[in-house]
């Protein structure tokens, strides 16, 4: 019997569990840990609430969760409730699927002012992550600045621009829906330090901006390179740039009935965030040019007055004591997922915050192959570890209140039952409420 602990119940965690189950069937026991009492990581708290079709992948993870030898161990924080070393002594393999929950920091003056939020915070707020549900962002100014030209920046801009009616069918949490309904924001500036050919935004997500009820995207045609240069781009990026070209071609007459503008400001590098009485009141930006793919400052600066700045410049994995960490890359130090025999990383914790949900599938299956290799070479010893039995004894000794998958299903039923009309669920946004909702056994 092989015992595997997977830390993190997002896509990378559940694909790893699925792969282990498929490879070893009844000869493996997989425990999937999460510090929250609810599963699915970024599927629940990262994927935009109006992208329900992406969230539907959780049904596949549920199938894995319901197989006989995989179990969910929620409400347990590895690193504080139980250490990695303790887990290593109990399980043959420990797989870190902890994602990248921390914002990459913007190291400029004023980045610590009130009204400056990282995307993990802001996305967590509108998705009801218990850690960020109380963020209460100030949406009372006319202009919001979003830094970064990736899909997270697009998610944020779209969420800020949508009407309440456009959220029908989404599971945006009520506190965010209410706050957005009374938002005064009518100009959303997306800042990119490089140009249209260097964006990280994907075509489908960009295309959505053309169909917003009260908002229209704006691109300055002068920022776009000559059309024939697009031929050199890889096909996905070429499609994205085609969207930018169509945004630049929207006639003013079509904008007349739009009350919100989503403005793409290219060649614009944030220099400093300006504050008044401790709150953001503007952002100073330096014009850049792109040389050999890099943004180079031109010395020309300008200020955009704004009341909120949202950084969407990438994420970092949270270090765990005793696990080697690559500070520069912001993830665990690993070789193709192997940190050391018996300890592995998968998903964003392995490769950094890039790729789609689907990228985690080959990652999860690959890590199980690596574990098999290490078993075959004898690097993981001769087995005989206590696995979940040992963990349960430790948990009882420490008085840990474990939330099981069956508990989660009761929490989910309560969330579904509380859904407002047109929404699939009303999420609990605090841990005590989640735990209370699992009811009596
Ligand atoms: P991302 O795609 O890596 O984009 C980060 C952006 O931030 C880049 O434009 C980058 O510009 C910019 N940036 C980084 N440091 C900066 C700085 N100091 N100043 C100014 N700009 C800076 O990251 P992401 O948007 O967080 O997305 C993470 C991953 O999740 C991506 O793989 C994304 O596709 C995925 N995702 C997918 C979806 C979807 O499929 N619907 C939704 C959300 C997220 P440079 O290029 O110049 O560095």
Q: What is the pLDDT of residues 264-320, one digit of tens each?
A: 999 999 999 999 999 999 999 999 999 999 999 999 999 999 999 999 999 999 999
Contact 314, 104 (CB under 8 A): yes
pLDDT at 383 over 90: no
Q: Residue 382: what pLDDT?
A: 84
pLDDT at 321 over 90: no
- The string of pLDDT tens digits covering residues 388-405 is 999 999 999 999 999 999
Please report the sign of the dihedral spanned by the C-alpha atoms of residue 295, residue 298, residue 302, residue 303.
positive
User: Which of 51, 148, 265 for a ligand 1 pocket mutation test, highest count of atoms within 8 Å of Cβ?
Assistant: 148
Contacts of 149 by beta carbon, 8 Å cutoff, 6+ apart = 190, 191, 192, 194, 198, 199, 200, 201, 264
Q: Residue 47 and residue 152: Cα distance in Å, rounded?
A: 9
> From ligand 1's centre to the CA of 205, what distance in Å?
13
pLDDT at 440 over 80: no
Higher pLDDT, residue 57 or 383: 57
Task: Give me the residues paired with residue 265 across strands.
Answer: 191
For tokens 């700045």, the residue is 309
Question: According to the model, what pLDDT value does residue 384 have?
Answer: 87
CB 241 within 8 A of CB 264: no
In which residue are the tokens 């009811």 written?
Answer: 439
* Residue-averaged pLDDT of the chain: 97
Nearest C-alpha neighbor of 152 from the set 103, 112, 223: 103
Under the banding of pLDDT at 50, 70 and 90, the label for residue 256 is very high
CA 97, CA 318: separation in Å to the nearest integer? 11
| pLDDT tens, residue by residue, 141-154 | 999 999 999 999 99
pLDDT of residue 441 exceeding 80, the answer is: no
CA of 271 to the centre of ligand 1 (A): 18
Closest ligand 1 atom number to CA of residue 106: 18
Contacts 24+ apart (CB under 8 A), 107-112: 108/270, 108/271, 108/272, 108/273, 109/272, 109/273, 110/272, 110/273, 110/274, 110/275, 110/280, 111/273, 111/311
Phi then psi dihedrals of residue 179, to 5 deg:
-65, -40
pLDDT computed for residue 68 by the predictor? 86
Name the nearest CA neighbour of 55 among 164, 211, 170, 165: 170
Q: In percent, how much of the chain has pLDDT > 70?
A: 100
Centre of ligand 1 from the C-alpha of residue 315, in Å: 9
Q: Is 378 helix (H, G, I), strand (E, B) or coil?
A: coil
141: Cα within 13 Å, side-chain hemisphere: 18
What integer pLDDT is reported at residue 97 of this predicted model? 98
**How does pLDDT run across 336-374, given as a tens digit for each residue?**
999 999 999 999 999 999 999 999 999 999 999 999 999
Q: How far is CA 274 from the centre of its chain?
A: 28
Above 90 in pLDDT, residue 63? Answer: yes
| Distances, alpha carbon 363 to alpha carbons 62, 326, 369, in Å | 19, 19, 10
H-type helices in 250-386, by residue range?
Answer: 252-255, 348-351, 360-376
Q: In angstroms, what is the span from residue 151 Cα to ligand 1's centroid?
A: 6
Q: How many angstroms separate the alpha carbon of residue 61 from the centre of ligand 1?
A: 26
Considering only CA atoms, which residue is closest to atom 10 of ligand 1?
148
Instruction: Count H helices and E strands in the chain, helices first.
Output: 16, 19
At 200-216, the pLDDT tens digits run 999 999 999 999 999 99
Residue 187: closest CA among 84, 258, 284, 95: 258
> Whole-angstrom Cα distance, residue 3 to residue 141?
53
Q: What is the pLDDT of residues 179-202, one digit of tens each?
A: 999 999 999 999 999 999 999 999
Pick the closest to residue 244 from 269, 207, 211 (CA basis): 207
Please determine, for residue 50, whether its predicted confidence score (pLDDT) is greater than 60: yes
CB neighbours of residue 399 within 10 Å = 7
> Rounded mean pLDDT of 90-98?
98
Q: Which of 281, 247, 252, 249 is nearest to 264 (CA)?
A: 247
Query: Which residues form ligand 1's pocket by a CB distance below 6 Å?
Result: 106, 147-153, 155, 192-194, 198, 200, 202, 205, 270, 312-314, 353-356
């Amino acid at each position: 019997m092989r015992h595997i602990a997977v830390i993190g119940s997002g896509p990378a965690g559940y694909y790893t569990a699925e792969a282990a189950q498929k490879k070893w069937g009844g000869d493996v026991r997989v425990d999937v840990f999460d510090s929250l009492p609810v599963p699915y990581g970024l599927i629940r708290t990262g994927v935009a609430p109006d992208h329900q079709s992406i969230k539907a992948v959780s049904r596949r993870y549920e199938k894995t969760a319901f197989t006989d030898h995989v179990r969910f161990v929620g409400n347990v924080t590895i690193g504080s409730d139980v250490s990695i070393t303790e887990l290593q002594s109990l399980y043959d393999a420990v797989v870190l699927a902890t994602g990248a929950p921390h914002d990459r920091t913007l190291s400029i003056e004023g980045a610590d002012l009130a009204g400056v939020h990282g995307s993990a915070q802001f996305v967590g707020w509108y998705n009801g992550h218990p850690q960020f549900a109380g963020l209460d962002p100030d949406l009372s100014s006319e202009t919001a600045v979003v830094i970064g030209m990736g899909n997270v920046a697009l998610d944020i801009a779209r969420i800020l621009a949508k009407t309440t009616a456009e959220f029908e069918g989404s599971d945006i949490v009520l506190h965010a829906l209410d706050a957005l309904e009374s938002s005064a924001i009518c100009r959303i500036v997306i800042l990119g330090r490089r140009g249209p050919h260097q964006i990280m935004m994907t075509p489908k997500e960009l295309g959505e901006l053309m169909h917003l009820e009260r908002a229209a995207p704006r691109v300055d045609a002068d920022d776009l390179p000559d059309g024939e240069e697009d031929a050199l781009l890889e096909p996905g990026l070429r499609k994205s740039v085609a969207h930018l070209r169509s945004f630049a071609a929207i006639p003013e007459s079509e904008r007349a009935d739009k009350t919100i503008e989503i403005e793409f400001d290219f060649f614009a590098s944030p220099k400093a965030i300006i504050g008044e009485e401790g709150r953001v009141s503007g952002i100073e930006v330096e014009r850049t040019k792109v040389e050999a793919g890099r943004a180079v400052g031109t010395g020309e600066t300008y200020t955009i007055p704004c009341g909120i700045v949202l950084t969407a410049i990438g994420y970092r994995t949270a270090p765990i004591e005793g696990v080697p960490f690559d500070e520069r890359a912001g993830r665990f130090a690993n070789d193709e997922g192997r940190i050391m025999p018996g300890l592995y990383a998968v998903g964003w914790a392995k490769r950094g915050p890039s790729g789609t949900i689907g990228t985690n599938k080959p990652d999860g299956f690959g890590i199980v192959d690596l574990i098999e290799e290490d078993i075959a070479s004898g690097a993981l010893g001769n087995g005989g570890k206590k696995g979940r039995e040992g963990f349960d004894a430790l948990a009882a000794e420490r008085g840990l209140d474990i939330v099981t998958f069956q508990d989660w299903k009761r929490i989910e039923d309560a969330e579904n039952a509380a859904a407002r009309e047109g929404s699939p669920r009303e999420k609990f946004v605090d841990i005590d409420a989640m735990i209370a909702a699992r009811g009596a056994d």
